[in-house]
Structure 1
């Protein structure tokens, strides 16, 4: 797996995962790695894994690959009754295991509302406490119905997820990161463990390692602007109107009641507090480079 991604899998604890571009890899205590792919990248990811497995088998290594018929349900956040950890309350009623022992980015196999063989991972792309449940295909309707039986649980779509993950300063593959973006430019250097940096064996090391020592020409930053909200794929401008980058995500923040965005700017403009402009409807609108996250995250640490 480390021959295909830039994350440090070997150093993960049992049942712990880390985000590696568009993959979440969990090192389970059952002797295998559990991989959840970005749905938009599933075809190329599976082809890559099959090709690498064939190479390793040809070299005499013992490795296998299994694709599971599972579906993914996310249960995220707090609901309307105060500040209680509502996701945990809703889910705990369907679990025999103690959910409080499952902390952020850890995973376990569990029976959920009577449906066996579910993998429960405490994560999600909203900035709030939540879980992703990998459920066998045969049980996905029943599990959804069990969850919706609670009046506080509502179905929601990717539009809501997209605005929440932007408030949390989280990248979306295909928008804020892609095959042309390095982790250094995207301020995702935390994905490169010390062991991998020293070994210099991860994909893209010949580009990434020199960038760690030297400044990159551009950097991912947060933005706040006035007036109409800024949208993705519109230019970032210097105060004088020169193009200095591009917005990669943008929307009105429902929590902050302000326009927020994420994008790339030339390095001299990347310092927090720097005034720039964003282009909205062919006009320059005042904006300021802002520290992310825009909203505090509420990941569960066990406390």
Structure 2
């Protein structure tokens, strides 16, 4: 990002200022890192009630073709998920891959529920990557499939155990969704696109709406007693506790989805058929195992390990921390990083070097804090 360029503002910039937010540069935008109550309070509120996030800096776009199969296969040539068999009204997580299997970005894909939208996929990509992502996708599309950016839309995320009760008052159809389902609907009469998903590990919703209507939704949600505005600081500590990757830190062009422990995001058909960038490498890593793998780490003491800290075993460096911080829910420091598979089993003891001092760390299962997504009960359960 050229820092000489003026920072952009989301449609909710004035609303953040009115709440006393501390604004910081993030992905080319002025974004709220925290509000007056502070990051710890915001983190705890989201875990116990409902937090409202402005994520309008994210990149939204439509991929349009003559029919679903054509559009899905066009995207499957760039990413390893099975979009062909994605059902209407469902959402899927995947990654845009480079030719060597490195990750260009991770993103969300929704197949609209409406029959008239057959041949359309809805994409949401990371803010810092959106310009490059959209150029990359557009440059690799077959004739008849087009990418349509949607800068006219804002994106709000309502996250936490009381989010569904709040949504039921304004948008009853959304409250009936299960995890990773999506519908076009109305919020207090305003047209919106809602998915039951998020980036905190909590139950929640992401709401796409026209820019001019975003302040109305923001105000209506904040008027509910369960809801408070939450900034980027708590968003990061929440996603770290949930063991979720942050692009440019835990995943990037140097990591493959298998190294990043994202095997679950590549469905069976794609694993066997391939047909996406880096398929040979990824199929080999699935069969033989990768050279390194992303793990969670619980540190002893109170000192957090930050990105870049060395991970050591028996005095030898074996990896680096990619995300780290203090976990408010656990009252302890946690981190994620990459280590050889032989050192990746939960319970393995390692050292993390913080300011020249070796701190004892234990490999932990991810997520650090159990997720609470609204999944449908399994048949017979």
The alignment's TM-score, normalised by the length of structure 1, stands at 0.91
Counterpart of 2:145 in structure 1 is 63
Task: Choose the corresponding residue for 2:140, options 52, 55, 58.
Answer: 52
Equivalent position of 1:139 in the other structure: 213
> Which residue pairs with 1:41 in the alignment?
129
Residue 236 of structure 1 corresponds to which residue in structure 2? 311
CA drift of 1:271 comes to 1.3
- Mapped to 2, the partners of 1:259 and 1:294 lie a distance apart of 11
Whole-Å separation in 2 of the counterparts to 1:17 and 1:256: 30
Aligned twin of 1:82: none
Cα distance, 1:48 vs structure 2 = 1.2
Query: 1:73-222 to 2 correspondence within 5 Å?
Result: 73-78=156-161, 86-95=162-171, 97-116=172-191, 118-222=192-296
Secondary structure of 1:268's counterpart equals helix
Question: How many pairs are equivalent?
Answer: 287
- Structure 1 residue ranges, 4+ long, deviating more than 2 angstroms after superposition: 97-101
Whole-angstrom distance in 2 between the partners of 1:128 and 1:218: 29
Partner Cα distance (1:282, 1:41) in 2: 34
Q: Which has the higher strand share?
A: 2
8 Å Cα contact 2:299-2:361 kept in structure 1: yes
Q: Would the aligned equivalents of 2:174 and 2:196 in 1 still touch at CA under 8 Å?
A: no
Summarize the Cα distance change of 1:119–1:246 in structure 2 as closer, same or farther, 3 Å threshold: same
- 1:152 Cα deviation (Å)? 2.6
Q: Which runs of 5+ in 1 are unaligned?
A: 79-85
Q: How much has 1:23 moved relative to structure 2?
A: 0.9
CA distance in 1, matches of 2:181, 2:225: 28
Please list the CA deviations of residues 193-221 of structure 1 after superposition, one character each: whole Å capped at 9, or x if unmatched.
11112222012102111111112221111
Q: Corresponding residue for 2:371?
A: 297
Identify the structure with bigger relative contact order (alpha carbons < 8 Å, sequence gap 6+). Answer: 2
Is the 8 Å Cα contact of residues 225 and 259 (structure 1) preserved in structure 2?
Answer: yes
Q: How many Å separate the matches in 1 of 2:265 and 2:225?
A: 39
- For residues 150 and 48 of structure 1, what CA distance do their matches in structure 2 show? 41
**Using the alignment, how far apart are the partners of 2:289 and 2:91 within structure 1?**
29
Aligned to 1:83: none
Output the CA distance in 2 between the equivalents of 1:74 and 1:20. 19
Contact 2:292/2:341 (8 A) holds in 1: yes
- Check conservation: 1:101, 1:302, Cα contact below 8 A: no
Q: 2:308 & 2:250 partners in 1: Cα distance?
A: 10
1:13 aligns with 2:97: no
SS in 1 for 2:140: helix
1:62-104 CA-to-partner distances (Å, cap 9, x unmatched) read 32322221111000003xxxxxxx1111111112x43343110
What RMSD, in angstroms, separates the aligned Cα atoms of the two structures?
A: 1.3
CA-CA distance at 1:302 after TM superposition? 3.9
Listed as ranges, the gaps of 5+ residues in structure 2 are 1-74, 96-105
SS at match of 2:228: coil
* TM-score, normalised with respect to structure 2: 0.73
Aligned to 1:277: 351
1:243 CA displacement: 0.7
